[in-house]
Structure 1
Amino acid sequence: MPEPESGTAPLRVLFCIGVNQNFFDLPTGQGKAVWDGFMTMFGRLHGMPGVRVLGTIDDDQHMVGPSGSWPWTSYVLADVVDQPTVAAVCNLFRTVQVGEYGLWRYMKIEARAGRPLPDPEATR
């Protein structure tokens, strides 16, 4: 991942993803198109310059129903080069299509950005 222009460390970002009621209102069997759209978005996220995915958590086996806020359905932890790139990741939910709609019709994303905590071993 390229270093931020200021020479500072990249942002540590937690992308929080919720599945909304529109997904659960789909007729049985029609959710696969949403899953395919999610995987397209996820592939693009992994391929974005300035984004290094550190880990993911998917809670879909332990929760059923919409998640409009915490606890979220899934999380992506990433180092991201700058705020415009964080916004570009969120924008994927607008640009990835699921049929005639954007992915945002079925899912939402929010980003929490900060910086990594220092490694206690490195400060000794």
Structure 2
Amino acid sequence: MEKLESHRVLFCIGINQNFMDAPIEEMKQVWQAFSQMIQNIDELPGLNILGIMDDDRLQVGAASTAPWMAYIMADVPDIETIIAACNFFRTVPVGDGTYKLWKYCKIEARIGRELVVPE
């Protein structure tokens, strides 16, 4: 079996009902925390974000399972870095830090490899 140099990962992000029920000021704080989480993922050593997709035009409301609300596709060097990316949902504070990002959204990582189509 071939040893993979990196993993192709699809981070699937769902927004839950706590976000939908939050007042507008709290929603703004969540989006600031969400932005920080994306930046933190982008700064992980060896992780290369290939693209980010938001599914908010065709899906409205909470998305706790597939289809998700947003997706990040990245090449990631190892499992530990994938775990670190997911962990930002547990550690990035929202507003004054009483709550973390995972009160408002969730993440699931789908791990695979780059598909190379033979010629």
Provide TM-score, normalisation by structure 2.
0.91
Deviation at 1:118, TM superposition (A): 1.8
Give distance in 2, aligned partners of 1:34 and 1:71: 21
SS in 2 for 1:78: strand
Counterparts of 1:14-53 in structure 2, within 5 Å, are 14-53=10-49
Give distance in 2, aligned partners of 1:67 and 1:42: 18
When residues 29 and 63 of structure 1 are mapped into structure 2, their CA distance, relative to the original with a 3 A threshold, is: farther
Aligned to 2:101: 103
Q: Which runs of 5+ in 1 are unaligned?
A: 1-6
Deviation at 1:26, TM superposition (A): 0.5
Deviation at 1:34, TM superposition (A): 0.4
Percent of pairs with identical residues: 50
Give distance in 1, aligned partners of 2:56 and 2:25: 17
SS in 2 for 1:37: helix
Larger radius of gyration: 1
Q: Which runs of 5+ in 2 are unaligned?
A: none
- 1:65 equivalent to 2:46? Answer no
Give distance in 2, aligned partners of 1:113 and 1:61: 26
- 1:54 equivalent to 2:50? Answer yes
Deviations 1:27-86 (A, max 9, x none): 234311000000000011111102100011101122211001100000000000001110
Aligned to 2:5: 9
Give distance in 2, aligned partners of 1:82 and 1:41: 19
Deviations 1:64-115 (A, max 9, x none): 1100110000000000000111000000001100031010000000000011
Structure 1 runs of 4+ off > 3 angstroms?
none
SS in 2 for 1:60: coil
